[in-house]
Amino acid sequence: MRTVKISACQFSVEKVDHFAAFQEQVSQLMDQVPQDSDYVIFPELLTVGLLMSLPDSDQLKAEDLYRIDAYTSQYRELFTGIATTRKQIIIAGSHLERRGDKYYNIAYIFKPDGTYIEHKKTHIFPAEAKWQTSEGDDLAVFDIGPAKIGLAVCYESEIPEISRILSVNGAEIIFCPSYTFTEYGFWRVRHCAQARAIENQVYFVHCPTVGTPGEPLPNGYGRASILSPCDTAWSPNGVVGEAETNKNMVLSGSVDIDELYANRRNGAATTFEDRTRRRDVYNKYEPFQSLSR
């Protein structure tokens, strides 16, 4: 049995007037994280409250959110310090960051040795366009800690090809930091996360930003969850663990990685293999023909 413990930090965004206040928010959640958690995840764009710490904050609008890039160095230093001090793998949500003449929504994995890995969100939700956000082009699986992991940031969970690419390339857990502004958005991501877990026979961890900070910052709605395929090795609804809606809190739970491989061989629904097995049928139809050109 290869057991992995996961903690999802459901972060309630607030307006803060300096970086130290944001750091205190992070620290309060980390104090609730068990020391034996293998992976700790924070949600998408958890740094948005820092927009209100800028000198001209009273004149800023939601369209100015990209300016939180001013805190990129401090954000990295904070989570590098947490990962190295606690000797844990920290998936520190994501942060808007400038690279050259473009801005990207970048998710980070901070490792206990002081290094980090990044993933630029490849599919931008339509509302993000107002933040001048560009899309990344790479999907990777990372062999970090006791499992092979991938990242699908919020809207990326709604694009089935992303999770399929990650799982075929070895991902056993897909981590999904998200920021959904409405209950509709939350359920889109949540339902898709559960579907991706079933389709690919992987674990899927959904960790949302929540809170009602008020204009110009967007509200967050969500309920963190650790999800599995819906089969006899797990609960019937595929929910390993679930947080309370919109509460600033930590959800922790454990999963058995070996059980995924047993389920792919012997489960009631062997979707991981079956999605490839009948490629000869799929290739006769659009969109598979156009995708292969």
Which CATH number is 171's domain given? 3.60.110.10
The catalytic site residues sit at 44, 121, 154
Radius of gyration of the chain measured on its C-alpha atoms: 19
Structural domain harbouring 205? 3-291
Q: How many of the other CB atoms lie within 10 Å of CB of 213?
A: 18
Question: How many helices and strands in the chain, by DSSP H and E?
Answer: 8, 13
- Say yes or no to pLDDT of 288 above 70: no
Closest CA to 77 of 65, 101, 95: 95
Which residue type, as a one-letter code, is found at position 76?
R
Lowest mean pLDDT among 194-208, 244-258, 266-280: 266-280
Residues 6+ apart with CB under 8 A from 50: 16, 19, 22, 68, 70, 71
Res. 116 pLDDT band, cuts 50 70 90: very high
Res. 275 pLDDT band, cuts 50 70 90: confident
Give the start-end residues of each E strand in 111-152.
Answer: 116-120, 133-134, 142-144, 147-151
Residues 6+ apart with CB under 8 A from 274: none
Edge-to-edge order in the sheet of strand 225-227:
142-144, 147-151, 173-178, 203-208, 225-227, 239-242
Read off the pLDDT of residues 150-177 as tens digits, 9 standing for 90 and up. 999 999 999 999 999 999 999 999 999 9
- What is the rounded CA–CA span in Å between residue 278 and residue 18? 56
- Say yes or no to pLDDT of 293 above 70: no
Looking at residue 49, the DSSP 8-state letter turns out to be G
Question: Mean per-residue pLDDT for 29-57?
Answer: 96
Count of structural domains within the chain: 1
Tokens of 1: 């049995």
User: How many Cα atoms are found within 13 Å in the side-chain-facing hemisphere of 148?
Assistant: 13
User: How many Cα atoms are found within 13 Å in the side-chain-facing hemisphere of 74?
Assistant: 13
Looking at residue 220, the DSSP 8-state letter turns out to be B
Give the start-end residues of each E strand in 170-244.
Answer: 173-178, 203-208, 225-227, 239-242
Q: How high is the pLDDT of residue 130?
A: 80
